[in-house]
Each structure stands twice: as C-alpha cells, then as structure tokens.
C-alpha cells in the first residue's frame, strides 16, 4: 500500500533541491504533512487543487515513515495519514506529473 502527497510544481522543485520539506503552506499551518490514500487522493485533488494543472503526485510507503505517521480522522470522519516530521527525498517511492484534463486530474494508470 502507498500513500500520496500532491505538490504544486514549485513546491516539488524546492523539495527536490533541498532534499527535505516541512510541506506545503497548509501543512506548515496545521503542523503536519497531509497525505491521502489511493481511495482519497482524487477527492483531495478535486477539493484542494481543482483548477491547478502543474502538480506532482508523490507516492510513499507508510511503513517506512515510522512512528511520526499518524492516522487521524478528517474529512467525513475518514482516517487520513499525517506525518509529524519533515519529509525527505529518501521517503519518496516515486513521483509523477498530475495534469489537469477536461474532467479533472489525470492520475497515473494502475493507481487504484
């Protein structure tokens, strides 16, 4: 099982350059890095990035993130993964562009 983080291209570029990130502005404001499961990520994209096209979808293995990863209730009472430590490039399993199509974001094949 993988979990996912959506970054704006500029956020992803800064993360890649630095090798570490405390997350996007919403993560900094909330005090943890927000992730979604494969069942949640399309709704996350639609809710928070509806009109944004230059996005990057990053996949992570939750088992490798250690005890700083907490599963907490959020949208609709669903459990979402939240990371209470900086994210490093070594944590990333893969990254792929997440373009915006005519009916929403176009996710990589095989994600669900």
State pLDDT tens for residues 47-106. Answer: 999 999 999 999 999 999 999 999 999 878 899 999 999 999 999 999 999 999 999 999
Instruction: Give the torsion through C-alpha atoms of 14, 20, 22, 27, to 10 deg.
Output: 60
**pLDDT at residue 75, as a whole number:** 77
Domain of residue 14: give its range: 3-105
Burial 11-33 (b: 16+ CB within 10 A, else e): bbeebeeeeebebbeebeeeebb
Among 75, 66, 83, which Cα is nearest to 31's? 83
* Number of domains observed in the structure of the chain: 1
Q: Does the residue 80 lie in any domain?
A: yes
pLDDT at res. 76: 86
Judge whether 111 lies within some domain.
Answer: no
CATH number, position 7: 3.20.170.20
> What's 105's DSSP letter?
E
């Amino acid at each position: 099982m993988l979990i996912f983080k959506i970054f704006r291209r500029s956020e992803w570029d800064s993360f890649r350059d630095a090798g570490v990130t405390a997350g996007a502005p919403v993560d900094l404001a909330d005090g943890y890095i927000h992730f979604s499961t494969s069942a949640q990520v399309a709704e996350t994209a639609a809710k928070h990035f509806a009109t944004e096209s230059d996005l990057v979808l990053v996949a992570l293995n939750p088992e490798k993130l250690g005890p700083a990863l907490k599963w907490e209730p959020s949208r609709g009472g669903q459990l979402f993964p939240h990371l209470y430590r900086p994210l490093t490039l070594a944590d990333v399993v893969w990254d792929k562009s997440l373009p915006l199509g005519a009916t929403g974001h176009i996710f990589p094949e095989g994600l669900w």
